[in-house]
Amino acid sequence: MTTTPVKPTRRTYFGIVAFLTSLLAVMAIGSNLGVSQMNITPQEFNQLNSITALFYCILTPLAFALGVFGFIFKNDFKILSGLAMAVVTVPFLVIAFSLYSSFTAN
C-alpha cells in the first residue's frame, strides 16, 4: 500500500489584497470629498468627481469580495480580511445613511 505525502495547503493572499484594495477605496472616497471642496471650474469638477466616484464604486465591492474570499479560504489572513470588509463597510454605511436621511428630510 503506497501513500502519497500530504502537501501542506498553500497560503493564499486574498486578505492582504483585500486590505490594500480597501485602503485604495477609502483614498478614492476621500479624494471624492476633497474634490468637492476645491475651487475649480464646473467642468473640472465633473471630470474629477466622476473619476473618483468610479474608482470608489469599483474598489468597494472588489475589496469586500476579496475579503469574503480571504475569510472563506483556510490558510489566509482572516484578520486582514475582516479589517478590509470593515474599512469599506463603514464609509458605505455612512453614505447610505446620508442618502436615506436626505430622502426622508423632505
Structural domain boundaries in the chain: 14-101
Predicted TM-score (pTM) of this structure: 0.83
User: CB–CB of 85/68 below 8 Å?
Assistant: yes
Residue 3 has pLDDT above 80, yes or no: no
Assign 11 a pLDDT band (cuts: 50, 70, 90): confident
User: How far is 92 from 90, CA to CA, in rounded Å?
Assistant: 5
Q: What one-character DSSP code corresponds to residue 34?
A: H
- Phi/psi for 52 (5° steps) reads -70, -35
